[in-house]
Amino acid sequence: MHIVAAHADCDGIISTYLYIKHLLHSDYPSNVKIVLTQPWRASKDIHKAINEVDVIDSMVILDLALDGELTAIVKELTDKGVKVVIVDHHLSSKKFVNELMKSRNISVIWSKAPSTPRLMISSMGFVLNPQEELLVNIADVCEGSGTSAEDVKELADMLKLALSRDPSDLNFMRRIIDDLLRSRNIFGCEEVLSRAKIGKWVLNTLINKIINKGIRVSSVIIYPLTLAESRIYAGLIGIASTEVAKKENLDIVIVREEESKVVVTVRSLKGNALRISEFVANEFNGRHGGHNEAASATLPKVDTKKIIERLINYFSGKV
């Protein structure tokens, strides 16, 4: 069985489609297990998938920022002779790449790129058809790249909102991948259109809350989400943070509870996101990852009021 683990977002979904289409098409679907996850729970979900499979032919990790826990899982697999492939463009992964390259049975493709699909086509020799080229352009836009092509922007927004409307609905995401592999038009799908429409309305609600009720300190807006809000807005938090950062020209920090952890989402057009997430992770014994413009920190269960207080002091220059 081939396990393909990917970030459950626009970038990760398209990466999964491209990898299976070009390298595992003859094994799909009977011998491919797709694991869609979020950075803050990736190691848990991947470890669970490994335990559910009797024989692992290969382990593929796409668009997931590497951290200590994920690196340990990869090393354990390679030590057992399992072939591992990692394709990722997160800046924070860089410090783990050299360490992993010392292992046997591993292929790591890492570089700074607009998106993981863009990195795949530049490094893996895929020859794309027009539909696949469009999807790679969409992935770039989903990850924050600009475009003058209005059709690409509209399709990227549609897919991003549809996927983010309910990030716990992994079956919907798997259906998207399956439809792509069967050459179906996902952008004409009624379910995609409906989810995107609802997602747009919910997104605008969250954007207004962050702008009007966020804590403004120096050049930053901090917005703590209640547990109820975290469940309602879930997959839209990153999109909303990016939109507010653009509208207000300020760094955005969202603090929320998530299962048994606290997740801090950071967006910065000035390139401060990775630094801010690293500070929070170090302060509360957590881990962080991402890019200079978009990053996150995952912390053990901590009173969010303490995190907010520490952030206010940090941005006020008191730390």
Name which of 273, 225, 224, 226 is nearest 245 in CA terms.
273
Query: Between residues 282 and 39, which one has the greater pLDDT?
Result: 282
With 70 as the cut, is the pLDDT of residue 271 above it?
yes
Same domain? For 57 and 102 the reply is yes
pTM here is 0.91
Q: Residues 109-160: pLDDT tens digits? A: 999 999 999 999 999 999 999 999 999 999 999 998 888 889 999 999 999 9
Q: What's the burial of 81, exposed, middle or buried (CB within 10 Å: 0-12/13-18/19+)?
A: exposed
d(CA 81, CA 104): 8
Mean pLDDT taken over the chain? 94
* Domain limits for position 291: 212-315
Q: Determine the pLDDT at residue 226.
A: 87
Q: Residues 182-239: pLDDT tens digits? A: 999 999 999 999 999 999 999 999 999 999 999 999 999 999 998 889 888 988 999 9
**E-assigned strands of the chain?**
2-7, 32-37, 58-62, 83-88, 106-110, 215-217, 220-224, 251-258, 261-267, 287-290, 294-300
Q: Determine the pLDDT at residue 160.
A: 94
What one-character-per-residue DSSP string does 6-54 give?
Answer: EESSHHHHHHHHHHHHHHSTTTTTTTEEEEEE-GGGHHHHHHHHHHH-S
Same domain? For 168 and 221 the reply is no
d(CA 288, CA 281): 6
Q: Determine the pLDDT at residue 302.
A: 92
Same domain? For 122 and 221 the reply is no
**Residue 31 dihedral angles phi and psi, to the nearest 5°:** -120, 25
Same domain? For 293 and 161 the reply is no
Same domain? For 137 and 68 the reply is yes
User: What token pair was written down for 165?
Assistant: 């409307």
* Contact (Cβ atoms closer than 8 angstroms) between residue 267 and residue 273: yes
Q: What is the CATH number of the domain that holds 232?
A: 3.10.310.40
Mean predicted confidence (pLDDT) in 287-310: 95
Distances (CA, A) of 136 to 121, 150, 282: 9, 15, 35
Residue 170: which H helix or E strand, with range? helix 170-181
Same domain? For 153 and 248 the reply is no
121, amino acid identity: I
Say if 49 falls within a structural domain.
yes
Q: Determine the pLDDT at residue 319.
A: 58
Q: Residues 104-115: pLDDT tens digits? A: 899 999 999 999
* Contact (Cβ atoms closer than 8 angstroms) between residue 107 and residue 84: yes
Same domain? For 216 and 170 the reply is no
